[in-house]
Amino acid sequence: MLRRRARYGARVLVPLDRVRDGGFQRADGEELRQDVQDESSPGIQMLKAAAKSESNSCPQVFSIVRQGVDRAFSREQRLAASLLRLHFHDCFVNGCDASILLDDTSTFTGEKTAGPNLNSARGFDVIDDIKSELENQCPGIVSCADILALAARDSVTVSAGPSWDVLLGRRDSFRASQADANRFIPSPASDVPALVSAFQAVGLSASNMIVLSGAHTIGAARCGTLTPRLYNQSGTGQPDSVGDPDFLASLQRLCPPGGNPGTLSRLDVRSPQAFDNSYYQNLLQGRGVLHSDQILFSGGGSSAQAVQDLSSDENLFFGNFAASMVRLGSIAPLTFPDGEIRTNCRFTNS
Is residue 167 within 8 Å of residue 44, measured between CB atoms? yes
CA pair distance 122, 112, nearest whole angstrom: 9
Choosing from 87, 89, 216, 291, the catalytic residue is 89
CA pair distance 342, 324, nearest whole angstrom: 27
CA pair distance 277, 64, nearest whole angstrom: 29
CA pair distance 110, 103, nearest whole angstrom: 6
SS3 label, residue 118: coil
CA pair distance 224, 216, nearest whole angstrom: 17
C-alpha dihedral over 283, 285, 289, 294, to 10 degrees? 40
SS3 label, residue 319: helix
Is residue 269 packed enough to be buried (19+ CB in 10 Å), middle (13-18) or exposed (0-12)? middle
Catalytic site includes residue 89: yes
Contacts of 34 (CB under 8 A, 6+ apart): none
Q: Of 102, 168, 100, 73, nearest to 349 (Cα)?
A: 102
Please give the positions annotated as active site: 89
